[in-house]
Amino acid sequence: AQKITQTQPGMFVQEKEAVTLDCTYDTSDQSYGLFWYKQPSSGEMIFLIYQGSYDEQNATEGRYSLNFQKARKSANLVISASQLGDSAMYFCAMTGRSGGGADGLTFGKGTHLIIQP
């Protein structure tokens, strides 16, 4: 069974500062994928970034990067130069098969990020 742990229920950050959202995972699979999603107050789930377990480089997408430390089983999301529009719930998730996604995602409980002006 897979498990995702997000230890920060809520965070307050000043605008323009960098933000790190923590995510640790547990799995017995050798091949897996890690995801981050943003859920604003409007409710939609927005895909941010993906990291495969065999990827040697950390994934980056614009202001988002994923700090992947395989030995520690952590997959922290880093948002550079935060903006007011980054205020939202953020979910870490994983799937058991990197590149397949056949068996669905296991989600953490989320971190509520609030960016303050």
Partner 1 sequence: DAGITQSPRHKVTETGTPVTLRCHQTENHRYMYWYRQDPGHGLRLIHYSYGVKDTDKGEVSDGYSVSRSKTEDFLLTLESATSSQTSVYFCAISLTRGQNTEAFFGQGTRLTVV
Interacting residue ranges for partner 1, rule: CB under 8 A: 4, 33, 35, 37, 43-45, 47, 50, 52, 55, 91, 93, 95, 98-110
Closest to partner 1 by CB, 4 vs 19, is: 4
Q: How far is the CB of 88 from partner 1 (least distance, A)?
A: 14
Q: How far is the CB of 63 from partner 1 (least distance, A)?
A: 18
Count of CB atoms situated within 10 Å of the CB of 57 = 8
- Phi then psi for residue 84, to 5 deg, are -60, -35
Q: How far is the CB of 25 from partner 1 (least distance, A)?
A: 13
CB under 8 Å, gap of 24 or more: what pairs does 61-69 form?
Answer: 64/36, 66/34, 66/36, 67/20, 68/34
